[in-house]
Structure formats: structure tokens, C-alpha cells
Amino acid sequence: MVERCVGCGLEVDVIDGPTHRYITSAPGCWALYGELLAVLSADRRMQSALVMCVDSYAVEHPGTPNPQAIQSVAVHLINMHGYLVRGRPIAPPRLAGHKGAFHWLTPPAVPANRTVRSVPLGGSAGDIVEAARMWVESAWAAWESHHAQVDAWAALYSRS
């Protein structure tokens, strides 16, 4: 049996398994994400892919309007803005003075056209990094209606 992930819309096997406490996803999707993180974490050449995949997964699974989910989505969108728009190196986010500063952004009505399954678990590091780049660009584009807000937050809170 399959089910559609409530976060990204991906069809995944129905499994009995854990999920994240504020990132809303199907257990099967969360399991795929865990497998991907294991592959990316094992190879230092894929550090940029790891960051892009974490950002992509977080914004594709925004959860519900609660303080942790609000902060998570905002921080990941600001990070994506930094390397996709401003051209800074791909790295974990560096923000200052932002606790409690963000508000809920209504998730996109149309999901990104790529998901966790778009990044191959095998293949060369270059292929994986390229697939991660295409996923993060797709996830960023899905949030287009909020780009101005993300830009404003980035101007206020980013530490490059």
C-alpha cells in the first residue's frame, strides 16, 4: 500500500515508523529522508548537498503554525536565499537576533516538482550534488510568493 506524504505530496510506502515532532510527513517519506542523510553524511564531498537537502526537506514539510515550525521554515528559507540569491557559500545558516521574529508563511498551494526521492542514493558525488541543487531550486521556487518577506528577514538577521 502507498500513501501521499502530507508535506511534499510524494507517494511512499505505508510503514509504521517514526516522524519528526514538528515537521509533518508520512513515516515512509521521513524514512527516505533518513536514508538520504546517512548517505550524504558519510562523504565530506557532499557537505553542500547535505545542507541543500536539509533546507529543501524542511520547507517542503512545513508542519503547522507553531513556534518551532515557523522558525524552522523561516531559517531554512533564509539560508536558501543566501546561497541561491545572494551567492554566498552553501553552509548551515548563520543568523543572529531572530528568536521570535518570524511569522507563519502559508505554504505553497503547488508543491515543488522535486522531492527527497529526486536525489539518488547511489552514483557519483557530482551527480548527487547536482540533484540536490535541482531539488533546492525547485523548493525555493515553490515559495516564490514569500521571497520578498524572506529577503527582508535575511537583511535583518543573516550573518554572512
Q: pLDDT value at position 140?
A: 98
**pLDDT-derived band of residue 160, with 50, 70 and 90 as boundaries?**
low
Q: pLDDT (tens digit, 9 = 90+) per residue, 9-39?
A: 999 999 999 999 999 999 999 999 999 999 9
Quick one: what percent of the chain has pLDDT higher than 90? 90
Residue 52 pLDDT more than 70? yes
Short-list 152, 56, 157, CA closest to 112: 56
9 dihedral zone (left: phi>0; alpha: psi -120 to 50; beta)? left
Question: Mean pLDDT across the chain, nearest whole number?
Answer: 95
Mean pLDDT of 117-146: 96
Domain assignment of residue 46, given as a range: 2-157
Q: Which residue has the higher pLDDT, 41 or 123?
A: 41
The tally of domains found in the chain comes to 1
| Closest to 116 (Cα-Cα) out of 146, 93, 139 | 139
